[in-house]
Amino acid sequence: MNTESAQQQEHITEELASHYKEILHLLGEEPEREGLLKTPTRVAKAMQVLTRGYTMDAKKVLTDALFKEDYSQMVIVKDIDFFSLCEHHLLPFYGKVHVAYIPNGYITGLSKIARVVDIFSHRLQVQERMTLQIKECIEETLHPLGVMVVVEAKHMCMQMRGVEKQNSITTTSDFSGAFNQAKTRQEFMNLINQGKL
């Protein structure tokens, strides 16, 4: 990071911290007490990490590790852990993402699929949009014969507030191309469920 970028980052941290200090005050806390003195800055830095996906290009991540390959069977990367922030309450939701694509002359590094998930999850999100964004990024970059994404998540906004349901899991999916065939979708679902209790 160059000096100008570092200075800009520091300015953003200070601006965010000043707002968090005011939030603490409005909540009835005393931001100057010992335990909270550094909290605004800590939260500001944490939020910058949790939303770092806005500064990253998911398509570039895939194209930086693009390889010509004649493999045309399903490629699956499953159980990709993720954490994100729900844009409605700024509370975490977290879980696993399962991705499959059928190459059409090109493959990408397997770790790059996980990086794409990381980039889109490190933004203020709703699970449905994140599922779509991951699928579209892979589809538009690799031009595969088909893509399918399944996201399973627990939402703290449902666990800590509102209905307060501790064990509910939300599942979303999106697919294209060859995965429009029920048989192909079922093959993917069978493979990602192998080894689960």
Known catalytic residues are 86-89, 127, 155, 157
Helix (H), strand (E), coil (C) string for the chain: CCHHHHHHHHHHHHHHHHHHHHHHHHCCCCCCCHHHCCHHHHHHHHHHHHCHHHHCCHHHHHHCCEEECCCCCCEEEEEEEEEEEECCCCCEEEEEEEEEEECCCEEECHHHHHHHHHHHHCCEECHHHHHHHHHHHHHHHHCCCEEEEEEEEEEHHHHCCCCCCCCCCEEEEEEEEHHHCHHHHHHHHHHHHCCCC
